[in-house]
């Protein structure tokens, strides 16, 4: 057991985790992982462990990563770690926050209760908190911190896209699009979206002059790209120039990315919340400030 604080991660998040460890000036160690032929995982932590362990684990591929995270947390406790801070820039299982049809599992609540058994603090970025107001509702731990990527995104836009108009695809996006627009000192528009299925959405653009207007789409995440593809079609019909899109979490597959580009969104930019090749906007400063506030 060492007295210091250490940051650890699996290989999948190593680059972002090391950036965060550097920003905090703390040690970084990688968690070893072996996958058996049937898909089962073997996880090994390098000993000795500190009293306070920061585990960086963004939760895309959630069904695998949550199991491996639990294996790591439980092992750390058994080896004497007193405090575990989970940094999960992308937090999975946040969509299903109510029983929409009888018998549906309310995953946000169930996974929140499960992970809360293993961690003392959680720091995440732009989680899907649309009907549930606070992360603390389902994460009953010492610190359940929900950060916004609006500042790094706004600064990125200010530097590279001066004079652009930001567009959010639905009313929920106004909370972050308006802040990013004020940081980037540009206009913004908010569309209206109705979702009919995983890939099927209907979008209505707000009344505005779109002809030759430079538009940058901004959202919290790309999942299938259905939202972007639909909005891009409407913007092109109105004569807008689509510069690209900027999102906090880019979860889309290569095939979906090709479909988004073919639909007229020339580039996808995201934060490094996930290890996607569109990641250009580092979150290390945002995350390190939040960690410094609680240690």
Q: Which of 18, 120, 172, 275 binds ligand R5P (CB under 6 A)?
A: 172
Stretch that binds ligand R5P, among 140-148, 155-163, 207-215, 223-231 (CB under 6 A): 223-231
Residue 272 found at the interface with ligand R5P (CB under 6 A)? no
Stretch that binds ligand R5P, among 8-16, 81-89, 116-124, 217-225 (CB under 6 A): 217-225
Q: For residue 14, report the phi and psi dihedrals to the nearest 5 degrees.
A: -60, -45
Residue 190 found at the interface with ligand R5P (CB under 6 A)? no
Q: Which is nearer to ligand R5P, 157 or 221 (CB)?
A: 221
**Under DSSP, is residue 237 helix (H, G, I), strand (E, B) or coil?**
helix
Q: Which of 50, 89, 169, 282 binds ligand R5P (CB under 6 A)?
A: 169
Q: Which of 220, 243, 257, 272 binds ligand R5P (CB under 6 A)?
A: 220
Region of residue 238 (phi > 0: left; psi between -120 and 50: alpha; otherwise: beta): alpha
Q: Which of 69, 71, 221, 290 binds ligand R5P (CB under 6 A)?
A: 221
Contact 119, 73 (CB under 8 A): yes
Residue 222 found at the interface with ligand R5P (CB under 6 A)? yes
125 contact partners, CB below 8 Å, separation of at least 6: 89, 90, 146, 147, 148, 149, 248, 249, 271, 273, 283, 286, 287
Cα–Cα distance for residue pair 227/278, rounded to 1 Å: 18
In the complex, least distance from residue 227 CB atom to ligand R5P, rounded to whole angstroms: 3
Contact 181, 206 (CB under 8 A): no
**Under DSSP, is residue 83 helix (H, G, I), strand (E, B) or coil?**
strand
In the complex, least distance from residue 232 CB atom to ligand R5P, rounded to whole angstroms: 12
Interface residue list for ligand R5P (CB under 6 A): 169, 172-173, 219-227
């Amino acid at each position: 057991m060492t007295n210091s604080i250490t940051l650890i991660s699996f290989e999948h998040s190593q680059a972002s985790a090391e950036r965060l460890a550097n920003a905090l000036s703390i040690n970084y160690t990688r968690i070893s992982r072996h996958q058996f032929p049937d898909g089962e995982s073997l996880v090994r932590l390098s000993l000795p462990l500190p009293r306070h362990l920061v585990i960086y684990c963004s939760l895309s591929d959630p069904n695998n990563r949550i199991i491996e995270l639990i294996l790591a947390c439980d092992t750390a406790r058994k080896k004497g770690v007193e405090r575990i801070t989970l940094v999960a820039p992308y937090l999975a299982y946040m969509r299903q926050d109510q029983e929409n049809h009888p018998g549906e599992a309310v995953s946000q609540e169930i996974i929140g209760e499960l992970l809360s058994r293993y961690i003392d603090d959680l720091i995440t970025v732009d989680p899907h908190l649309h009907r549930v107001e606070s992360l603390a509702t389902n994460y009953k731990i010492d610190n359940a911190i929900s950060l916004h990527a609006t500042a790094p995104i706004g600064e990125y836009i200010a530097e590279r896209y001066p004079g652009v108009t930001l567009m959010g695809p639905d009313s929920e996006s106004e909370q972050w699009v308006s802040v990013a627009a004020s940081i980037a000192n540009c206009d913004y528009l908010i569309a209206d979206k109705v979702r009919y299925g995983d890939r099927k959405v209907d979008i209505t653009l707000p009344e505005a002059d779109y002809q030759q207007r430079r538009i940058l789409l901004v959202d919290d995440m790309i999942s299938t790209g259905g939202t972007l593809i639909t909005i891009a079609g409407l913007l092109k019909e109105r004569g807008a120039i689509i510069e690209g899109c900027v999102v906090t979490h880019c979860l889309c597959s290569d095939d979906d990315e090709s479909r988004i580009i073919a639909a007229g969104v020339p580039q996808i930019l995201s934060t490094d919340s996930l290890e996607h090749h569109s990641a250009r906007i580092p979150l290390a400063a945002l995350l390190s400030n939040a960690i410094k506030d609680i240690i």
